[in-house]
Amino acid sequence: CYETLKVAMTSLKGQPQPSGYPFQAVQTYVLNPKSITMGQLYGEFDLQTHEWTDGILPSLVRVGIKAPDKDKRWYVFDGPVDAVWIENMNTVLDDNKKLCLSSGEIIKLRDTMTMMFEVADLAVASPATVWDGLDYIWEPGVLGLNPFISCWLKRVPQLGQAYLDEFEALFAFYVLPAIELVRGKLKEILTSVDSALLMSFLRLMDFRLGPLSGRDNKPPPPAQFQALIPNLLVPWVVFNTIWSIGATCDNNGRILFDRFIRDRMLEGGHEPQFPEDGLCYDFNLHDGGFTDVTSDGEPAPPTWRGWMDNIADYKITGDMKYSDC
């Protein structure tokens, strides 16, 4: 990650940033603090001569301070966080940016110097250290998917706030197991990542709930159609799960995903069930008047309808020209 960023920033050297300042070249210094002693890292006194010897970090910092260029210098600590060595970095990580050595010397870092830590976790780091670090880049697997769901639930339109618990339960029942199925048993035509699948699902949910917030400058549906929402929660989640999480798999995967959706609906006792003739991919959701038009203009139960049910048959005869098709 930092290597890619280093190459990009170095290649842009001299060009203006959005802030107006030019990009600078980047130099990196990578070390594993757990592979060496504290004395080798920060420096130590000789027990016999009491002579001070700089460790690796002070030596690298001094080189950067004396350098005549304005290159950015990143000091990357690539290894596990240890409660001993990380605590000595507190004064470096705060606004002072001072490296305090046990010799009593204080080295003031330049603004172009940055300390980076590539670690598996922060289990033994103190709250002060974590706070001083300020900026964090997490692996997607560390965050999980629940933060995405929590953020989405907070921006549900006011008229949908009453159904937050139902949404959360349905996401846990359909969406998260569907992602596990895709990862474990299905083959994708184009490989995706879990967060991208979930975000696709949430964008479809935004579209479904859009009318509640007055999408396209239109008022929300009348009260009699808003009364359909409790019966639409399951179809919304199911349809959006199919066309986001289940949309990336191949044909054989769609058969397995169809079986998964049907089994889940049976297990949860959810309605409406899909027709048996065809896969769940073959059907569109008619929302009973919430946004789709009904024949009498009155609310109706949501149903699954074939994509081609309302499309007139189109036949191509042998004497038709290409321009007539």
Mean pLDDT over each residue of the chain, to the nearest integer: 89
Q: What integer is the mean pLDDT of 86-103?
A: 84
The pLDDT score that the predictor gives to residue 139 is: 61
Say which residue the tokens 């802030």 belong to. 19
Q: Taken in order 304, 309, 311, 316, is the CA torsion positive or negative?
A: positive
Pairing of strands 113-118, 72-78: parallel
Alpha carbons 52 and 149: distance in angstroms, whole number: 54
Angle at CA of residue 145, ends 182 and 162, nearest 5°: 110
Supply φ then ψ for residue 120, to 5 degrees.
-80, -35
Q: How confident is the model over 124-140, as pLDDT tens digits?
A: 666 666 655 555 556 66
Question: H or E segment at 162?
Answer: none
SS3 145: coil
Angle at CA of residue 229, ends 224 and 232, nearest 5°: 125
pLDDT for 170 beyond 80: yes
The pLDDT score that the predictor gives to residue 81 is: 79
The tokens for 206 are 């935004």
pLDDT for 306 beyond 80: yes
The pLDDT score that the predictor gives to residue 239 is: 98
pLDDT higher at 87 or 195: 195
The pLDDT score that the predictor gives to residue 121 is: 73
The pLDDT score that the predictor gives to residue 155 is: 93
The pLDDT score that the predictor gives to residue 308 is: 86
Q: How confident is the model over 250-264, as pLDDT tens digits?
A: 999 999 999 999 999
Q: What integer is the mean pLDDT of 235-252?
A: 97
Bridge partners (DSSP) listed for residue 303: 286
The burial class, CB within 10 Å (0-12 / 13-18 / 19+), for 238 is buried
